[in-house]
Amino acid sequence: ETGVTQTPRHLVMGMTNKKSLKCEQHLGHNAMYWYKQSAKKPLELMFVYNFKEQTENNSVPSRFSPECPNSSHLFLHLHTLQPEDSALYLCASGRDTSYEQYFGPGTRLTVT
């Protein structure tokens, strides 16, 4: 499945680092999403963009900053993260927010 790609696939960062996660979709979709998946919690929706406009910010700490420059690209900028932010970060896209979502392979983030 190459419709939604994510880079990097693995990332290890210290608490003082700044890094960015990238997501790209090749499906012509208008909605894009960031999710966090931790070992002991269900999937948590973080951000939603629909037609490049942020439509949902699910009480996410400000150390996570999304950016959607166009409908095909979505970034998640990370700074001063905590060890509890270690998780699998999944990107998804959909035709718009009223349709099914297609997921990327995820970025496994470890904060040391």
Partner 1 sequence: AQSVTQPDIHITVSEGASLELRCNYSYGATPYLFWYVQSPGQGLQLLLKYFSGDTLVQGIKGFEAEFKRSQSSFNLRKPSVHWSDAAEYFCAVLTTNYGGSQGNLIFGKGTKLSVKP
Give me the residues that bind partner 1 (CB under 8 A), please.
1, 4, 6, 42-43, 45, 48, 50, 55-56, 88, 90, 92, 97-106, 108
The backbone torsions φ and ψ at residue 87, rounded to the nearest 5 degrees and listed phi first, read -175, 180
Closer CB to partner 1, 81 or 90, in the complex: 90
Which of residues 71 and 80 has its CB atom nearest to partner 1 in the complex?
71
Tokens of 12: 């290890």
40 token code pair: 């002991």
Q: Residue 5 Cβ, how far from partner 1 at the closest point, in Å?
A: 10
What is the distance between the alpha carbons of residues 99 and 3, in angstroms, rounded to a whole number? 16
Nearest distance in Å: CB 8, partner 1: 14
